[in-house]
Amino acid sequence: MLRILLLSLLSLSFVPTSIAQDEQAALSIDESNFRCLSEMSRVRGFFVDNLMDDLDGTLAVANSDVGGVYPPGSVVQLVPTEVMVKHPKGFNAATRDWEFFELSVDESGSNIDKRGFVDVVNKFGGNCFACHVQAKPEWDMICEQDHGCDPIQLTRPAISAIQKTDPRCSDNPELEVEEKEALAALLKALAGPVSAE
């Protein structure tokens, strides 16, 4: 009897520890993990995936009205070149286990230009973490339009035009007139400072 009690106590104390250790191993992520936005699952204005076969878990949090913690393996994107990927629990407490990526993309796929945790900066000089950490805690650093982050300088038509022109996708739809205009205005604004030099 005592033996059985001891054994069950041992298993109780060992099992959770070994799970916790496994959970802290980093996901190995390379450019092959990223794909055409429209092949991912759309949630409102953004796209999600899961690298650990738990798309249902990712979708449950993304679709929740009250927020939640995204499961390990979650991939989240608004535009083709900026990605957040969730590592296993306990991997990086500051970023709540999110790793930030800045990609460049073309017809042949994705290339990782920058990756990391608190120090990744986007093309416009904005620090991903510093902005996304402003989201209220229940949203797990996901900003959308009303979770408390500073806004980005892109209109809805511009965002949807950027999403629909992901060069990695083979079946991009036609742009609506207002999306075409937004994209043209954006390209002009981006070209401005360069041509002025």
Token output for 149: 């982050």
Write down the least CB distance from residue 44 to ligand HEC, Å: 8
Write down the least CB distance from residue 80 to ligand HEC, Å: 11
According to CB under 6 A, which one of 29, 37, 128, 133 is a site residue for ligand HEC? 128
According to CB under 6 A, which one of 76, 162, 182, 186 is a site residue for ligand HEC? 76
Write down the least CB distance from residue 18 to ligand HEC, Å: 32
Task: State the Cα–Cα distance between residues 11 and 152, nearest whole angstrom.
Answer: 50
Task: State the Cα–Cα distance between residues 109 and 47, nearest whole angstrom.
Answer: 17
According to CB under 6 A, which one of 29, 36, 142, 158 is a site residue for ligand HEC? 142
Nearest to residue 118, comparing CAs of 100, 142, 134?
Answer: 100
CB-nearest residue to ligand HEC:
126
- Write out the binding residues for ligand HEC, residues 149-168 only, by CB under 6 A: 149-152
Write down the least CB distance from residue 89 to ligand HEC, Å: 19
According to CB under 6 A, which one of 46, 95, 166, 169 is a site residue for ligand HEC? 46
82 forms part of the interface with ligand HEC (CB under 6 A): yes
Which residue type is seen at 56? Answer: D
Nearest to residue 84, comparing CAs of 72, 93, 65?
Answer: 72
Write down the least CB distance from residue 76 to ligand HEC, Å: 4
Token output for 74: 């979650």
Token output for 120: 């990744």
CB atoms within 10 A of CB 183: 18
According to CB under 6 A, which one of 100, 160, 161, 162 is a site residue for ligand HEC? 100
The total number of residues written for the chain in this structure:
197
Which residue type is seen at 31? Answer: E
Binding site for ligand HEC (CB under 6 A): 45-46, 76-78, 82-84, 100-102, 120, 122, 126-128, 131-132, 142-145, 149-152
